[in-house]
Amino acid sequence: MLAYPDPAGYRPLREHIATYLGLSRGVTCLPEQVFVTGGYRATLELVLRSLARPNDRVWFEDPGYLFARGFLAETGVQLVPVPVDGEGIDVERGTLLDAEARFAVVTPSHQSPLGHTLSLARRMALLDSAEKASRWIIEDDYDSEFRYLGRPLPALKSLDRRDRVIYCGTFSKVMFPGLRLAYVVVPERAVERVGRVAHSMNAGSPTLLQAAVADFIEQGHFARHLKRMRALYGERRVLVVHALEQAFGERLIVDLPPGGIQFAVQFAEGPDGPVDDVAVAARAREAGLAVLPLSIWYANGRARRTLRGLVMGFANIADAREAGRLARTLRACLEYGTTPC
Ligand SMILES: Cc1ncc(COP(=O)(O)O)c(C=O)c1O
């Protein structure tokens, strides 16, 4: 365990992940298809180094995961922002914008940041268009275990008959982000190529850490932890939504999030026009609240259709008192937040 780790991942952990994905996410795969990485962006790096060519075009949800957008922009691929609506990514618009894009990066279970679930019709359209264009779909399934209404939905990958979906998971939400452990399930025809690139990068995660997580899963703690956290976070989300409604009244549009451990809330337009969410979030951070402005999750944050609001976590708020106190602090940050944009 003190030697260089296997760059593809610690074999028992790869086996446990494959079994877990089959049982929990409807993803059938062999342990050989599972590569362990140091986080979602490390996964993207491995995938792109293995399968992308310079200047490849990539559909990216708009709004979409802020940190992946920044990372991808730096890797030399060309991002094609594709609008998102209540059914998830708009595949038809994507096709009109760029029918030949080589990749589509999506968050089907819980769209980041708006929280919608990709509808079945859109899932089929996305898979169909990927097949026609020989496009790879990168499925970012970062927080699907936390679903509060009904059971977690199967992954998009579970419908992937043509093996076009590259499935990405992470331990950041189900355990904690400091672990720096994530994984990717690679289509069979790409396993050899990804394996070669993983070996040339030699960026494997510490074996001791992977072995501890493998034991945690094997001994049943992981399943119990998920069950416990699902119940706890489900209660906390109700507390937080209630506290925000009380503090903001009609100034904030808040929907009870069906899943995840963070959500986006939207500011109602004030008499002076749209709320400057960047200014509100900056004031909130000064007051000790870790919120992000919603508008910066768009490719063009100043476009007319951009929603103004905040993206915030709710999993660490202990009780109704704390939720109320924080919501009132946040409300005070709104007072000077309207600008005639
Ligand atoms: C949309 C999305 N994808 C993936 C991740 C996981 O990233 P990482 O594995 O680097 O912690 C996160 C974490 O916040 C996320 O919000």
The residue whose CA is least distant from atom 12 of ligand 1 is: 142
Give a yes or no: residue 102 inside a domain: yes
In the reported structure, the alpha carbon of residue 192 is separated from the centroid of ligand 1 by a whole-number distance in angstroms of 26
The residue whose CA is least distant from atom 2 of ligand 1 is: 142
Residue 105 CB burial class (10 angstroms; 0-12, 13-18, ≥19): buried
Tokens representing residue 70 in the block: 């920044």
- 171 and 229 together in one domain: no
Tokens representing residue 143 in the block: 């927080």
- 233 and 215 together in one domain: no
Q: Where are the beta strands (DSSP E) in the chain?
A: 34-37, 57-62, 78-85, 88-89, 103-106, 136-140, 165-170, 182-185, 252-253, 262-267, 291-293, 309-313
Q: To test ligand 1's pocket by mutation, which of 146, 168, 172 has the most ligand atoms within 8 angstroms of CB?
A: 172
- 174 and 242 together in one domain: no
In the reported structure, the alpha carbon of residue 338 is separated from the centroid of ligand 1 by a whole-number distance in angstroms of 31
| Number of separate domains in the chain | 2
* pLDDT tens, N- to C-terminus, the chain (341 residues): 999 999 999 999 999 999 999 999 999 999 999 999 999 999 999 999 999 998 999 999 999 999 999 999 999 999 999 999 999 999 999 999 999 999 999 999 999 999 999 999 999 999 999 999 999 999 999 999 999 987 777 899 999 999 999 999 999 999 999 999 999 999 999 999 999 999 999 999 999 999 999 999 999 999 999 999 999 999 999 999 999 999 999 999 999 988 999 999 999 987 888 999 999 999 999 999 999 999 999 999 888 889 999 999 999 999 999 999 999 999 999 976 444 33
- 215 and 227 together in one domain: no
Among 186, 328, 341, which residue's Cα sits nearest to residue 245? Answer: 328
The residue whose CA is least distant from atom 11 of ligand 1 is: 172
- 146 and 228 together in one domain: no
Return the bridge partners of 79, or none.
Answer: 58
In the reported structure, the alpha carbon of residue 172 is separated from the centroid of ligand 1 by a whole-number distance in angstroms of 7
The residue whose CA is least distant from atom 4 of ligand 1 is: 142
Give residues (CB < 6 A) around ligand 1.
39-41, 65, 107, 112, 140, 142, 170, 172, 177, 182
- 35 and 75 together in one domain: yes
Tokens representing residue 172 in the block: 């950041």
Q: Contact, 46 vs 201, CB < 8 A? A: yes
Give a yes or no: residue 6 inside a domain: no
- 247 and 158 together in one domain: no
Q: Which atom of ligand 1 is nearest to the CA of 172?
A: 11
Residue 48 CB burial class (10 angstroms; 0-12, 13-18, ≥19): buried
Domain boundary among 168, 184, 219: 219
Q: Which atom of ligand 1 is nearest to the CA of 42?
A: 10
Residues of the domain holding 99: 11-219
H or E element, residue 144: none
Q: Which atom of ligand 1 is nearest to the CA of 39?
A: 9
Domain boundary among 178, 193, 219: 219
Rounded CA-CA distance 83/63 in Å is 7
**CATH number for the domain including 43?**
3.40.640.10
Rounded CA-CA distance 120/303 in Å is 29
Rounded CA-CA distance 201/341 in Å is 46
- 244 and 188 together in one domain: no
The residue whose CA is least distant from atom 7 of ligand 1 is: 40
Among 47, 129, 133, which residue's Cα sits nearest to residue 90? Answer: 129
In the reported structure, the alpha carbon of residue 139 is separated from the centroid of ligand 1 by a whole-number distance in angstroms of 12
